[in-house]
Amino acid sequence: MLRVTKCTFLAALAVGAALAVNSGALVAQTTATLNPVADATLSAANAANNYGGAGAASVAAAGLSKGEFQSLLRFDTAAAKASFDAIHGPGNWTVQSITLKLVSANPNNQLTFFNPSAAGSFAASWMQNDVWTEGTGVPLTPTTDGVVYNNLAALISGSDQGLGGPFSFNGATSGTTTYTLTLGSGILGDVAAGTPISLRLSAADTNVSYLFNTRTKVGSEPVLSITAVPEPGTLMLLLAAAGAAVALWRRRRLEA
């Protein structure tokens, strides 16, 4: 009769782990979802005004009736890094993908400030400079306590990196769209270090007018999703350990 000892029990667990790896059942990736810690829309027609407290942000082409809009978003990756380190081990993971989810908004009675929504393309860039303040201004009562359009020249750097695209907007005033970002060295470096990520969204054609919810709209705010996977060497170690445990289990089973 086979005796179930601590060694054989642990070996059996290893067998299960090995089978799970072979069948793809083992969770080999982890996703962290982040909401912005700051966001602001910038109006070229109101270049000295801050609108960081608005419920919507915009990306709009320069030739439209209300002028050009750009938007900034900042995400804190410290919690994501800590989660990946805890699950995979410090330095034992790599970023597989990063996506940005935006929820379209309806201008409604704010058409005196925003351009009407219109289909087109926009660009997303990683910004080296994270030193900007959201502010509290809204379309009806702008302020000067945060980032404004006039600050862009100083914020934009030659080290900024494009994140793919151009990305398409269908012109809808509702609905959610998720965009897959290119994994450049800048954004990857921020995740690896657990430092803030700042994104700049701007028009990529002469037609786009994209209005989306900001972080004030809890439940429909922007979401940055970061998926990390174990380093290949980590998976190999896991398989090797599982294989050794399986061999031990089989030997003890024969000896029992």
Burial class (CB in 10 A: 0-12, 13-18, 19+), 57: buried
| In contact, 226 and 80? CB cutoff 8 Å | yes
Name the domain count of the chain.
1
Residue 13's contacts (CB-CB under 8 Å, 6 or more residues apart) are: 245
251 falls within a domain:
no
DSSP-assigned letters across all residues of 224-240:
EEEEEEE-HHHHHHHHH
10 falls within a domain:
no
**Is residue 234 over pLDDT 70?**
no
DSSP-assigned letters across all residues of 72-114:
EEEE--HHHHHHHHHHH-TT-EEEEEEEEEEEB---GGGTTTS
Residue 193's contacts (CB-CB under 8 Å, 6 or more residues apart) are: 77, 81
Range with the lowest mean pLDDT among 144-153, 182-191, 208-217, 239-248?
239-248
1 falls within a domain:
no
199/162 Cα distance (integer angstroms): 10
39 falls within a domain:
yes
Per-residue model confidence as pLDDT tens digits over 22-44: 333 345 899 999 999 999 999 99
238 falls within a domain:
no
119 falls within a domain:
yes
User: Of residues 232 and 144, which shows the higher confidence score?
Assistant: 144
Residue 252's contacts (CB-CB under 8 Å, 6 or more residues apart) are: 5, 7, 8, 11
116 falls within a domain:
yes
Spatial CA neighbour of 47 closest among 31, 69, 26 = 69
Domain boundaries, position 133: 30-231
pLDDT for 111 equals: 76
Global pTM value:
0.82
Tell me how far the alpha carbon of residue 138 is from its chain's centroid.
25
44 falls within a domain:
yes
Per-residue model confidence as pLDDT tens digits over 39-92: 999 999 999 999 999 999 999 999 999 999 999 999 999 999 999 999 999 999
Six-digit token string for 102: 């935006």
